């Protein structure tokens, strides 16, 4: 497991020194993170790296997971889709069941943190228990709620407004109808994690060999959970348009999460869309496949992220950190990571993405420059050290009302 001091070589001594200075101000405070899954998906990934680093800084940080069954996660997935703006109606019975599971968890969990840090909608109802103690509560929303279904948003607002602060990943997620203080904190990647650390060429070669990829032809990759919002079928369409002109391969690789029951259904649809093209590689990765993801990203010529909606899109940051040229849709937090034609390419349609893919595959020097600029942008703005600093400031802010705080 990485130590905070290990990051000095990447971000500089002064950045790490200041993390210790901020952490000192939280001495004696416990921070209890709660989410709905221990593995799979961006939230669990961030917490698995963040919590040990906070502890290394001297913060009494903890991570608990709520209990839920398949029915609960089917309801929360519906809510997730509704918050992303999909036209789904979450029934009254489903909302009742959501509350029931949250109340069971309230009874079973010890909500002991001086700061209780709830991640995403699944455990949002735990805040009902806050009357019983004087601690601070934060709700961290990792999803895009810029155009949610009104009924679901109205239901959640009743909970959000009971938090001291609500944290969002992009400015466009801000809402005028929330009473809680709204904070902007982008998520991050960990440059020392298995998924992002430097890899010897031999490891990259062995992974590409295992998945039968031809290193002599361009490899176009999208790494994502198998989810409708990641538009895997759209990616196949992009590939088919380009394949007519450039002999390339497509890799669609990803896994699932215990709180996402839709994955297998999406995977089936992708497999039927692929038919018998041997140059399309559908790779289902189990949760412990970070090394494979790392190697596949590093072996790629161009990385795509054709999301229709995106909480943030950390796979973009992962690819940029590896200095890969990325073409991604301008949704959620992706425009924060990519400045069009400087640190990557922003596309708005399947046709546009295919056009840009042709361009980058034909102009490798330009593509390489985009990748290098992207890596520096990630270094300065989207590494875990910046994320920790923002969280430390957020925790400290709960105890200070003024705009300028002298510590």
Instruction: Tell me the closest approach of the beta carbon of residue 405 to another protein, in angstroms.
Output: 5
Is 177 a binding residue for another protein by CB under 8 A? The answer is yes
Is 349 a binding residue for another protein by CB under 8 A? The answer is no
Is 161 a binding residue for another protein by CB under 8 A? The answer is no
State which residue, 212 or 407, has the beta carbon closest to another protein.
Answer: 407
Is 154 a binding residue for another protein by CB under 8 A? The answer is no
345-347 and 326-329 strand pairing: parallel
State which residue, 213 or 334, has the beta carbon closest to another protein.
Answer: 334
Instruction: Tell me the closest approach of the beta carbon of residue 94 to another protein, in angstroms.
Output: 28
Which of 172, 273, 290, 323 is the binder for another protein (CB under 8 A)?
172
Q: Please, what sign has the CA dihedral across residues 4, 7, 9, 15?
A: negative
Which two tokens mark 341? 């034609």
Q: Please, what sign has the CA dihedral across residues 344, 348, 349, 351?
A: negative
Which two tokens mark 176? 């005028």
**What radius of gyration, in Å, describes the C-alpha atoms of the chain?**
21
Q: Where are the alpha helices (DSSP H) in 60-215?
A: 70-83, 92-108, 150-160, 201-210
Binding to another protein by CB under 8 A, coded x per residue (else -) over 84-123, reads ----------------------------------------
DSSP assignment of 208-239 equals HHHTT--TTS-EEEEE--S-GGG-HHHHHHHH
Is 181 a binding residue for another protein by CB under 8 A? The answer is yes
User: With CB under 8 A as the contact rule, which of the stretches 8-16, 109-117, 218-226, 238-246 interacts with another protein?
Assistant: 8-16
Q: Calculate the CA dihedral of residues 217, 218, 222, 223 and round it to 10 degrees.
A: 60
Is 246 a binding residue for another protein by CB under 8 A? The answer is no
Instruction: Tell me the closest approach of the beta carbon of residue 339 to another protein, in angstroms.
Output: 9
Cα 324 from Cα 305, distance rounded (Å): 12
Longest dimension (CA), the chain: 65
User: With CB under 8 A as the contact rule, which of the stretches 33-41, 45-53, 259-267, 393-401 interacts with another protein?
Assistant: 393-401
Q: What are the residues binding another protein (CB under 8 A)?
A: 12-15, 17-18, 21-22, 25, 168, 171-178, 181-185, 330, 376, 380-381, 389-390, 393-394, 396-397, 400, 403-407
């Amino acid at each position: 497991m990485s130590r905070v001091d290990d990051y000095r070589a990447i971000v500089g001594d002064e950045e790490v020194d200041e993390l210790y200075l901020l952490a000192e101000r939280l001495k004696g405070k416990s921070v209890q993170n709660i989410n709905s899954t221990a593995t799979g998906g961006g939230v669990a990934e961030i917490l698995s790296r963040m919590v040990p680093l906070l502890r290394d800084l001297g913060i009494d940080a903890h991570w608990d997971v709520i209990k839920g069954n398949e029915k609960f996660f089917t309801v929360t997935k519906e809510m997730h889709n509704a918050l992303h703006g999909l036209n789904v109606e979450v029934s009254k019975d489903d909302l009742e069941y959501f509350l029931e599971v949250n109340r069971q968890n309230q009874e079973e969990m010890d909500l002991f943190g001086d700061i209780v840090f709830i991640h995403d909608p699944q455990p949002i109802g735990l805040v009902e228990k806050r009357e019983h103690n004087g601690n601070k509560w934060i709700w961290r929303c990792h999803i895009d709620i810029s155009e949610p279904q009104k009924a679901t948003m109205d239901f959640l607002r009743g909970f959000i407004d009971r938090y001291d602060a609500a944290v969002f990943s992009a400015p466009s997620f801000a809402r005028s109808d929330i009473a809680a203080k709204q904070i902007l904190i982008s998520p991050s990647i960990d440059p020392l994690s298995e998924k992002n650390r430097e890899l010897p060429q031999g490891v990259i070669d062995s992974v590409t060999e295992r998945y039968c990829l031809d290193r002599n032809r361009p490899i176009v990759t999208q790494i994502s959970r198998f989810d409708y919002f990641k538009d895997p079928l759209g990616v196949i369409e992009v590939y088919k348009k380009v394949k007519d002109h450039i002999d390339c391969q497509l890799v669609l690789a990803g896994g699932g999460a215990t709180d996402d029951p839709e994955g297998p259904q999406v995977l089936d649809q992708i497999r039927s869309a692929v038919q018998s093209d041997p140059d399309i590689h559908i790779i289902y990765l189990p949760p412990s496949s970070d090394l494979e993801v790392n190697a596949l990203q590093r072996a790629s010529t161009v990385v795509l992220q054709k999301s229709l909606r995106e909480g943030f899109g950390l796979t973009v940051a992962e690819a940029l950190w590896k200095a890969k040229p990325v073409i991604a849709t301008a949704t959620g937090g992706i425009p924060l990571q990519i400045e069009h034609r400087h640190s990557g390419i922003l596309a708005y349609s399947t046709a546009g993405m295919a056009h840009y893919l042709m361009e980058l595959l034909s102009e490798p020097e330009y593509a390489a420059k985009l990748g290098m600029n992207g890596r520096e942008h990630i270094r300065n703005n989207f590494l875990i050290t910046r994320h920790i600093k923002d969280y430390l400031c957020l925790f400290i802010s709960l105890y200070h009302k003024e705009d300028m705080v002298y510590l």
